């Protein structure tokens, strides 16, 4: 047997994997009684449904020609993820300005099309808008600058 | 139904919608919606997700009026770029490019835009009236629903969403189950047990709706669009003379009427919405036309019908959300998210408990449509110039607004980490050609279905046959099963045929 659609096969694999994981993690959730169904009823039903759907997709992948997997665009995926994570980790510790600068630079590295002069101007405008709108305008309690640099760098 | 009640309701709505504040939010929504409709790669779902945290600062009326405005505004904006630069800003205006852009190339962009706007406005008006008339009886019906009926209705809604969705039905089912599973994360309200929390305290309250949708619709879309930069051909057709000729108008009347009716009906069905409506309306016009071969060469019917249909559908898809509390597509899921942020539980009780909100929103939709016609036609030049903003900059801006938006909900940096995670998951799902909309519906409906399932089982003293004994519930389930057989059969048949050929 040959896999005729890598895409369907991978989707099936995903559903089956999540289904099995859900079943395994939820194995000790109580089932309750028919009159008072417990915590574990729906997770178990859904796990079976996911496994079933995945199995049908596998069957389809073996029987029906379909699209194959396409290449992942690793660069934007990694850089945009890093940009988001950087914002999350930095905003409380080093303030909004640093978080924005780091995060937006990482995002700009996500595409070869970035023109750095244009990017620099745009980023400064965005930082001004961000601070003006969210800290001064909406009065969100976000630090703008690092409060004390050594403390912030100690990473607690 | 009595007409007096309708007028009383609409005038109550008018009094809410006409306050300066709410007019302002309506305008804001319509303008933002047009902007995102114009920009390809920035859809109404992502925009509404982006603005959900911001609506927290508004009164609930203003919040929902603005969110609704974004949706129908994007329908207008999408058609503008479809006609002028052959770029459908939204999926619902893809068919408009076929004849609309041809008209623009022939120097008739003005009439095409005008007919699109007039058709949209007419459809929006009719659909608003339809909502106002359909809502009270449907709400009354919904109030007689027992828990078992609700459970079955939601199941039917999910099946409908699969049947009418584009792409593989199997994958759509998988996405629904995945969404329902994600919806179960957190503390089970009935028993107090936690599920799938991995002992992370941030998950005890469940996964947030906003971080989930921002990850899947915001971050994942940035990744996808940066990887695959679209060519933007800005060889814009010149607009000379906005006014359609009498002949144009005469040819458009019937298509607008048909488009409105078809779109209005398809909009009510879950999973359908504006995209399906515009495609079907175009097909119908082509079938009915005396000169079907001319479609694609600049027929005004090919603009009038789909543009009316997508707007009608955009409006009537509010009906199941408003009366039953059931989201029929991703955008309605956003509306429900907006309600929940303000502590309003969507469902038939909204109309009785918050009539001002309910009718105000309906009337604001009509006002918003009017604003769009008045504002958009003169501003078209500005909208088109927006296309000059390169996506590499838009991406950075969207990323920032996603991060700060989610952060602002609870001042929690951990929720920003969740959008990074769901961004990657969303990208993976895109690569597997799994539409994210069913996942969102499952996420919202899963926990609700569990509540109704438990209530039904409690009332029936543990007898599962209750779902088949109540006539309403049985009807819903029977339709759901029929639909499933209907959608799965051709697949099986096709699979068999291919297998036999080998």
pLDDT tens per residue, range B371-418: 888 877 777 777 777 777 788 888 898 899 889 888 887 888 888 999
Range of the domain at B176: 3-228+241-501
Query: Given an 8 Å threshold on Cβ–Cβ distance, is B170 in contact with A56?
Result: yes
What does the pLDDT average to over B150-166? 82
pLDDT on residue B272:
60
* Within-domain flag for B426: yes
- pTM, to two decimals: 0.84
The two tokens of residue A96 are 């909004």
Contacts of B427 in chain A (CB under 8 A): 77
* Minimum CA–CA partner of B57 in chain A: A138
Element (H, E) at B194: strand B194-195
* Minimum CA–CA partner of B218 in chain A: A80
Residue A93 to residue A98: CA distance in whole angstroms? 9
The two tokens of residue B375 are 């504002």
The two tokens of residue A18 are 């999540």
pLDDT at A124 over 90: yes
SS3 B344: coil
Query: Given an 8 Å threshold on Cβ–Cβ distance, is B399 in contact with A11?
Result: no
* Within-domain flag for B233: no
CB atoms within 10 A of CB B297: 14
Interface size, chain A vs chain B, as Cβ–Cβ contacts under 8 Å? 201
Contacts of B402 in chain A (CB under 8 A): 84
Residue B336 to residue B330: CA distance in whole angstroms? 10
Residue B340 to residue B256: CA distance in whole angstroms? 36
Number of domains in chain B: 1
Mutate to test the interface with A, among B155, B191, B216, B226 (most CBs of A within 10 A): B226
Q: Which residue has the tokens 């028993």?
A: B191
* Minimum CA–CA partner of A28 in chain B: B195
* Shortest Cα distance, chain B CAs vs residue A34, angstroms: 4
Is B390 near chain A, with CB under 8 Å? yes
Q: Where are the domains of chain A?
A: 6-63, 74-148
pLDDT at B102 over 70: yes
pLDDT on residue A150:
58
Q: CA-CA distances (angstroms) from residue B391 to B142, B216, B394, B398? A: 45, 19, 5, 10
Contacts of A31 in chain B (CB under 8 A): none
Mutate to test the interface with B, among A6, A36, A55, A84 (most CBs of B within 10 A): A84
pLDDT on residue A147:
72
pLDDT digits (tens, 9 = 90+) for B281-312: 888 888 888 888 888 888 899 999 999 998 89
Q: Which of A75-79, A152-156, B197-201, B387-391 has the lowest mean pLDDT?
A: A152-156
Q: Which residue has the tokens 């509404």?
A: B48
pLDDT digits (tens, 9 = 90+) for B108-121: 888 888 898 889 89
Contact B78, B89 (CB under 8 A): yes
SS3 A72: coil
């Amino acid at each position: 047997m040959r896999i005729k659609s890598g895409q369907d096969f991978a989707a099936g694999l995903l559903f089956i994997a999540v289904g099995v994981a859900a079943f395994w993690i939820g194995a000790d959730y109580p089932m309750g009684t028919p009159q008072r169904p417990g915590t574990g009823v729906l997770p178990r039903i859904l796990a079976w449904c996911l496994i079933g759907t995945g199995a049908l997709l596998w069957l389809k992948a073996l029987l029906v020609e379909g699209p194959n997997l396409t290449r992942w665009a690793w660069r934007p995926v990694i850089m945009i993820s890093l940009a988001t994570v950087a914002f999350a980790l930095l905003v409380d510790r080093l303030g909004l300005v640093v978080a924005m600068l780091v995060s937006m630079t990482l995002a700009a590295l996500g595409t070869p099309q970035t023109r750095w002069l244009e990017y620099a101007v745009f980023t400064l405008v965005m930082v001004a808008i961000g601070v003006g709108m969210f800290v001064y305008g909406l009065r969100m309690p976000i630090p703008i600058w690092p409060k004390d640099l050594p403390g912030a760098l100690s990473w607690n | 139904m009595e007409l007096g009640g309708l007028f009383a309701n609409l005038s109550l709505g008018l009094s809410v919608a006409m306050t300066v504040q709410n007019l302002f939010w309506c305008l804001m929504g319509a303008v933002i919606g047009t902007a995102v409709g114009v920009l390809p790669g920035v859809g109404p779902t992502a925009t509404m997700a982006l603005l959900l945290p911001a609506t927290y600062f508004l009164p609930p009326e203003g919040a929902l009026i603005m969110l609704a405005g974004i949706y129908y505004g994007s329908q207008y904006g999408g058609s503008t770029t479809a006609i002028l630069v052959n770029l459908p800003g939204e999926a619902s205006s893809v068919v408009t490019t076929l004849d609309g852009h041809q008209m623009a190339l022939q120097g008739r962009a003005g009439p095409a835009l005008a007919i699109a706007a007039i058709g949209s406005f007419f459809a929006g008006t009719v659909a608003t009236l339809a909502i106002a008339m359909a809502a009270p009886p449907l709400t009354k019906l919904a109030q007689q629903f027992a828990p078992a009926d609700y459970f079955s209705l939601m199941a039917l809604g999910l099946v409908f969403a699969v049947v009418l969705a584009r792409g593989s039905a199997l994958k759509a089912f998988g996405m629904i189950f995945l969404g329902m599973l994600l919806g179960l994360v957190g503390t089970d309200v009935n028993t107090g047990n936690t599920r799938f929390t991995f002992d992370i305290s941030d998950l005890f309250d469940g996964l947030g709706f906003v971080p989930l949708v921002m990850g899947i619709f915001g971050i994942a879309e940035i990744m996808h669009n940066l990887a695959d930069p679209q060519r933007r051909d800005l060889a814009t057709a010149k607009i000379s003379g906005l006014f359609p000729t009498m002949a144009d108008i005469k040819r458009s009347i019937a298509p607008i009427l048909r488009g409105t009716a078809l779109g209005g009906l398809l909009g009510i069905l879950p999973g359908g919405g504006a995209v399906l409506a515009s495609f079907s309306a175009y097909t119908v016009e082509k079938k009915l036309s005396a000169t079907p071969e001319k479609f694609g060469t600049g027929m005004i019917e090919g603009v009038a019908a789909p543009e009316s249909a997508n707007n009608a559908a955009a409006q009537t898809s509010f009906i199941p959300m408003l009366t039953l509390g059931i989201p029929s597509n991703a955008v309605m899921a956003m509306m429900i998210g907006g309600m929940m942020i303000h502590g309003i539980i969507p469902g038939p009780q909204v109309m009785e408990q918050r009539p001002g909100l309910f009718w105000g929103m309906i009337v604001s939709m009509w006002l918003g449509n009017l604003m769009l016609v008045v504002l958009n036609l003169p501003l078209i030049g500005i909208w088109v110039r927006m296309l000059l903003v390169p996506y590499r900059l838009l991406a950075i801006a969207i990323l920032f607004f996603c991060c700060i938006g989610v952060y602002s909900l609870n001042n929690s940096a951990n929720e920003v980490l969740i959008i990074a995670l769901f961004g990657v998951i969303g990208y993976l799902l895109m690569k597997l050609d799994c539409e994210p909309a069913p996942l969102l519906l499952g996420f919202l409906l899963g926990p609700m279905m569990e509540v109704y399932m438990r209530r039904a089982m409690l009332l029936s003293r543990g007898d599962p046959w209750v779902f088949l004994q109540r006539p309403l519930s049985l009807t819903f389930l029977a339709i759901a099963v029929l639909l499933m057989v209907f959608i799965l059969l051709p697949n099986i048949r096709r699979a068999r045929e291919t297998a036999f050929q080998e």
